[in-house]
Amino acid sequence: MNIALIFPRMKYGEHSPPLGLGYLAAVLESKRHKITIIDLTFEKNFKFLEKQLKQLNPELIGLTCQTTFADDAFKAAGIAKKVCPDALLIIGGPHPTIMPEKTLEESVADIVVIGEGEDSLREIVDKFADKQDFSQVKGIFYRKNEQIISNPERSFIQNLDTLPFPARHLFDSRYFAFPEVTIISSRGCPYNCSFCQPTLKKLFGNIVRLRSPDNVIEELKMLIEKYPGKIVRFHDDTLTWDKKWITKLCLLIKENKLKFFWNCKSRIDVLDREMIAMLRDAGCQRLDLGVESGSSRLLDCVLNKGISVDKVKEIFKLCEQEKMPTLAFIMVGNPTETPQDIIDTINLLEEINFDGLHVSLFTPFPGTDIFDYSTKRGLISARAWSDYDFYSNVSIKLEHFSSKQIINIKQTIQMGAMANNIFKKEKGPLNFMLKHPKTFLKYFPSWIKLRILKNDLTRKQSNINSKNKD
């Protein structure tokens, strides 16, 4: 069967190919279907989609959808239905999994796949080829006689080793111009951060499923051979949560004498000196750590992060001592965030040393606990799915800040904290200026802006305290 899989991401994310579609494509290719991935990441043009569909004339079209680009996904679905009216149109991914009926209502899709898609899509293709109905296909919602039918849920794939490696040969070649290639070795997350759960559990289940270390090693060997010199980025939600598993993987990397560098996401509360050293010795060249905030109140009472500020300081210090580079993730514009909370975040960033910083705008994605929390309090300001954008848009109302102010705070912390971190390593701006005068001129304005912001926040918090006393 001639099948097109569409990835309608038209903003951001150029570095990361759609591994989820890669898995679906690989499963379908193993059944001798002809698969084409139409990726809008680089083209960013619906006319390109229309042209591709006209040339391919697929019998079945699959489309993946995340909340951040749901509006574009629904538009892409409309184009697909117009160009290929007889093709079966299926939509899946995080957004349809959380709201399958609403997705069918807002799009022209024939079927919504919830959760993992490999087995469901394979069965749908078989039923469609045999001109059978979809009543026995688990894990889907579909249209029938102008009604929406929901079938029973599908069990999650227990042995991930049974899946073929993603069909990377179908990805846009421009992805491989970047210095990184990506891999996923597990599905799911055992933690309960309010900005992710229970969405991740609906997508991947309550139990984290791990590929065997041997299976991961085989894929790593293939990546190293096919893409020599590339850094391998593990896209797992938390690669290091199972100490026995990650220890085995690191041992196999060394036993197989795999010479490559890699990075991954980890959690503050699962790391210790021994693990950091083990990861470094196995070729890990950076740990991406979710700090989120320097406010204990936000971490405990709003984000349900399960970590302490003191633990953050301890782990970043250990990483520094063990010469493990780090990237810190921070969010601003959290529900109930006060000037003092942001001051606490700035103070934390000034105290720890890091090699990279990513500051995003808090975004209450539908289906998460924090979305429910924000909805009940009337805080949601988003009017379209495209408003749920953690890069450039504030999607909740805040008591103490306007959206414009939060965006400015994000930008100031991003540049200012990096500048402060760079100056600190040279024991102050003056020493840095003497050693690197040209670079100093680049970073100094941001460093000053952060000082000004901190003073403004201090005055603002003082005014709030005074009002509360009155």
**Which pLDDT belongs to residue 113?**
98
CA distance 326 to 295: 20
Q: 315 has which bridge partners? A: none
Chain CA centroid to CA 15, Å:
12
CATH 3.80.30.20 domain position(s) in the chain: 188-469
Q: 345: left (phi > 0), else alpha (psi -120 to 50), else beta?
A: alpha
Q: 396 has which bridge partners? A: 380
**Which pLDDT belongs to residue 381?**
97
pLDDT in tens, the chain (470 residues): 999 999 999 988 788 999 999 999 999 999 999 999 999 999 999 999 999 999 999 999 999 999 999 999 999 999 999 999 999 999 999 999 999 999 999 999 999 999 999 999 999 999 999 999 999 999 999 999 889 999 999 999 999 999 999 999 999 999 999 999 999 999 999 999 999 999 999 999 999 999 999 999 999 999 999 999 999 999 999 999 999 999 999 999 999 999 999 999 999 999 999 999 999 999 999 999 999 999 999 999 999 999 999 999 999 999 999 999 999 999 999 999 999 999 999 999 999 999 999 999 999 999 999 999 999 999 999 999 999 999 999 999 999 999 999 999 999 999 999 999 999 988 889 999 999 999 999 999 999 999 999 999 999 999 999 988 87
The CA distances from residue 214 to 109, 185, 211, 253, 466, in Å, are: 39, 11, 8, 10, 61
Instruction: Please give the radius of gyration of the chain, using alpha carbons only, rounded to the nearest integer.
Output: 24
Q: Quote the Cα angle for 119-35-99, to 5°.
A: 45
Residue with tokens 């700090």: 291
CA distance 297 to 303: 9
For the beta carbon of residue 427, count every other beta carbon within 10 angstroms: 9
CATH code of the domain occupying 188-469: 3.80.30.20
- Nearest-CA neighbor of 139 among 122, 161, 157, 115? 115
Q: CB of 98 within 8 A of CB of 70?
A: no
CATH 3.40.50.280 domain position(s) in the chain: 2-150
Chain CA centroid to CA 24, Å:
19
Kindly report the backbone phi and psi dihedral angles of residue 11, in degrees, each rounded to the nearest multiple of 5, phi listed first: -145, 140
- Nearest-CA neighbor of 256 among 234, 282, 277, 226? 282
Sign of CA dihedral 245, 250, 253, 256: negative
- Taking the CA atoms of residue 279, residue 283, residue 286 and residue 288 in that order, the dihedral angle to the nearest 10 degrees is -50
Residue with tokens 């569909």: 53
Q: CB of 58 within 8 A of CB of 6?
A: no
Check whether the bond before 198 is cis (ω within 30° of 0).
yes
- Copy the structure tokens of residue 395: 């999607």
Single-letter amino acid code for the residue at 232: V
DSSP 197: T
CA distance 373 to 14: 32
**Which pLDDT belongs to residue 425?**
86
Here the contacts of 143-146 (C-beta below 8 Å, separation 24 or greater) are 143/104, 143/110, 143/111
Q: Does domain 2-150 fall into CATH 3.40.50.150? A: no
